[in-house]
Amino acid sequence: MDECPEVVVEINHLRHDQVFHYLPPEEMPDLELGTRVLVPFGKKTVQGWVVGFSAPPPGVTLRPIESVVGDKPDFNPELLRLARWMADYYLHPLPEILKLMSPPEKPVRARKHAPVGGMTLAGRPGSLVLNAEQTVALREIEAALRAGGDARAPTGDDAGYRACHSGGAGSAPGAGQQEAAATGITSYLSDEHQPGAMGAGRQFLLHGITGSGKTEVYLRAAMTALSLGRQVLYLVPEIALTPQAGAWFRAALGDRVAVWHSRLSRGERYETREGIRQGVLSILIGPRSAVFAPFKNLGLVIVDEEQDASYKQQESPYYHARQVAAQRARDNGAVLLLGSATPSLESYTGARDGQYRLLRLTRRPQGRRLPRVTVVDLKQEHDAGHDLRVNLLGQYLAGQIALRLQRREQTILFLNRRGYSPIVFCPPCGLVLKCERCSISLVYHRTTGDLRCHYCNFKRPLPERCPGCGAAGSLRFLGTGIQRVEQVLRRFYPQAGIQRLDFDTTRRKGEFDRILDSFGKREIDILLGTQMVAKGHDFPGVTLVGVLDADLALKLPDYRATERTYQLLAQVAGRAGRGWVPGEVVVQTYFPDHYSIQTACFASYPSFYRQEIGNRESSGYPPYGELIRIRVAGEKEQQVERRIKELAEALAALLTGERVRLLGPAPAPVLRLQDLYRWQVMLKGELGGQKSEIRDCIQHYKKNTSVIISIEVDPYGM
């Protein structure tokens, strides 16, 4: 029989993670790869995608595709290759990956592509005249761009695509027809597509201190890519960074620039995606989901703040946008440019080992100095009788804020904790109010007067009586959230313009842009924020940055806690003194001698790297070993515990050798989440060669079970 369409159906189930053969519809015999179709599946009609063409197994009666959905394919061949690579690397079903990458539906009425925001700019970041370090970095990137004209992998040749993926066998299940045996999705992890296989010639790590002009290098590299007829993907870790980045690029390149993120309307996302697909738009700026845009001729991929944990998707499918961006660069023959003032240990080690070409920016342009750093030991504040439980600000920081207000300069204050108080408890009986669905305390939000779970968004009013002992008015607030700091600031500085920037103040569309634009116009004196204020912003009027609790991230049960503390502190410190007036950073901490705080405050990445990489090497954590987390979740904890122990025993028998360790089983750091109990095992070591066996083992235990089993490669968070 001739080649027939291979269809992956949009059903996220183990049994259906394979291709099924169908006959093409009579009215459209020449289907394109990536087309969304409606197909009969058993007694139902389901959606799916054409992912290849091959001869079906002999003796199988095929059913025809019922219809085509949409007027163009959802995916081009390059995006299909990317989906297969992700399914293989992250051990996720291909239908789940394709659903993640699916385009938005076409709106009834067309709209213009998404605007990049109307922020008021104080000027482009960095210097219009590049310094020597910027010039050297740009020349190397431009040389790689110009050398890459013939390096682009073919993405439009269906025959080449069929040859590279060799579609599996399968059939369309129907009445009286025995379902064909599953063959699985063919691996796409050939040697040439392994991480690092491209070499350092076209992959760069731009390590530049905060304020050193990395964005100016990005912008000029993008101009060169555009002059060569190539498109640019510019990833940022937070939606909050898109307005300013978009404004910088649009000021130089006009309407060829667009942004992409989840807060755009469906129509805006559709038109932006179409502009990229057709090549009308040349530069796309956005957070991790922008990595799936259907570029026509991708030539440069920029991952700004590449170290940021926001690039890792925290729900299934668990992917890391930095890794996916690198894969897209390899598949398109594009230049990959990672940038950071505080590189991830994985990327910096890759540069040290030759995977990336390391480019350094060690000073700020035009002689602008790094800010002065003052470390305040909060233990000494307590010993001096200063009640931080009431005032929250140390005496020195409070005085420096007042001085900046007097000088009409701006201040950024950083506390990475939402709400008013993270713990509400009753002293008479000791009850801590917790979420009904999660084993986590409820956070009191003063602006709305309710208690909230930041994991599942459960809400309840603040009770007048303790739910445990019934005492009236006994509930007390422990700990400090950002809303409480705002209350204190308004009491201490009643004449100041104060604005909070966090998830709760930016829920409404356009609030990111409005707040940052107002701060850029100097209508706000004090900007108080969570991690949204820590990265990427360039406001010359800011001469003071205050970090209220530098130890917060150190308390997390995560092997990356020290690295995250260093990165966050160094990033937020870099917001000060970016104009002509020298800046100052005040860091309040109970652990002033901890090496992550010392090295962050005094901009010493090499010192931090030497200490932290030694810890990673001795313990075998990335980048000196791979990590896979297998988690079992269910409504009955005994059932969950029993299944994870069975799975752990099977994995222990499978993973023999000294280079692999199995940690656990153990309860997850947050045991109960959204009414589900969670236990887990961690696999650590050299796991790449055994991924298929690990997947097969786990898939065996996924069958006929009432619990949920998930796999996370390179896990982040809890």
pLDDT at 155: 39
Rounded mean pLDDT, 296-300: 95
In a domain, 197, yes or no: no
* pLDDT of amino acid 579: 66
> Same structural domain for residues 548 and 473?
no
What average pLDDT does this structure show over 225-241?
92
Q: 571: exposed, middle or buried (C-beta count within 10 Å: 0-12, 13-18, 19+)? A: buried
CATH number at residue 87: 3.40.1440.60
What confidence tens digit (pLDDT) does each residue in 153-198 have?
433 333 333 333 333 334 444 433 333 322 233 332 333 333 333 4
For residue 657, is pLDDT > 80? no
Q: Can you give the pLDDT at residue 537?
A: 67
Single-letter amino acid, residue 227: S
User: Which of 581, 615, 649 is the last residue before a domain boundary?
Assistant: 615
pLDDT reported for residue 604? 86
Percent of the chain predicted with pLDDT > 90: 36
**Alpha-carbon Rg for the chain in angstroms:** 27
* Same domain (yes/no): 224, 296: yes
| pLDDT for residue 717 | 73
Q: Which of 286-300, 583-597, 599-613, 649-663 has the highest mean pLDDT?
A: 286-300
Q: Is residue 170 part of a domain?
A: no
User: 313 and 427: one domain?
Assistant: no
> What mean pLDDT comes out for the span 576-589?
79
One domain for residues 389 and 528: yes
User: Are 335 and 141 in contact, with CB atoms under 8 Å apart?
Assistant: yes
- Residue 698 has a pLDDT of 83
Whether residue 189 is contained in a domain is answered as no
Residue 111 pLDDT: 57
Question: Which candidate, 260, 263, 264, places its Cα nearest to that of 292?
Answer: 260
Whether 111 maps to a domain, the answer reads: no
- CB proximity list for 410: less than 8 A, separation 6 or greater: 404, 519, 522, 524, 525, 526, 527, 539, 541, 542, 543, 544
Structural domain boundaries, residue 324? 132-151+202-366
| Same domain for 65 and 140 | no
Please give the pLDDT value at position 163: 32
Confidence of residue 517 (pLDDT cuts 50, 70, 90): confident
Mean pLDDT of 574-594: 81
Model confidence band, residue 518 (pLDDT cutoffs 50, 70, 90):
confident
Orientation of helix 605-619 relative to helix 345-352, angle to 10°: 90
Q: How confident is the model at residue 387 (pLDDT cuts 50, 70, 90)?
A: low
Is 532 a member of any domain?
yes
More confident residue, 125 or 603: 603
How far is it, in rounded angstroms, from Cα 297 to Cα 175? 45
pLDDT in tens, 672-711: 888 899 999 999 888 777 888 888 888 877 766 788 888 9
Please state the domain count of the chain: 5
In this prediction, residue 374 carries a pLDDT of: 87
CATH code for the domain of 633: 3.30.70.260
User: Looking at the DSSP assignment, which residues form a beta bridge with residue 284?
Assistant: 233, 258
Residue 149 binned pLDDT confidence (cut-offs 50, 70, 90): low
Are 407 and 546 in a shared domain? yes
Residues 532-540 have a mean pLDDT of: 71
| pLDDT confidence tier of residue 58, bands split at 50, 70 and 90 | confident
> What helix, strand, coil percent values describe the chain, rounded to 5?
35, 20, 45
Q: Is residue 252 pLDDT above 70, yes or no?
A: yes
- pLDDT for 157 equals 38
Distance CA 188, CA 185 (A): 9
Q: Residue 171 domain-assigned?
A: no
Q: Are residues 348 and 216 in the same domain?
A: yes
> Residues 375-398: what's their mean pLDDT?
77
- Among 621, 620, 625, 595, which Cα is nearest to 609's? 595
Are 574 and 647 members of one domain?
A: no
User: What element of type H or E holds 349?
Assistant: helix 345-352
The amino acid at 23: L
Cβ–Cβ < 8 Å for 210, 571: yes
Q: Does the residue 645 lie in any domain? A: yes
Tell whether 428 and 411 lie within a shared domain: no
d(CA 378, CA 373) in angstroms, rounded, equals 16
CATH number of the domain within which 226 lies: 3.40.50.300
Above 60 in pLDDT, residue 322? yes
What pLDDT shows up at residue 151? 40
Rounded to 5°, angle at Cα 121 from 120 and 125: 160
Indicate whether 119 belongs to any domain. Answer: no
Mean pLDDT taken over the chain? 83
Least-confidence region, from 201-210, 252-261, 367-376, 396-405? 367-376
**What pLDDT is attached to residue 187?**
31
Is the same domain home to 233 and 335?
Answer: yes
Whether 507 and 565 map to the same domain: the answer is yes
**pTM assigned to the model:** 0.84
Question: Are 14 and 63 members of one domain?
Answer: yes
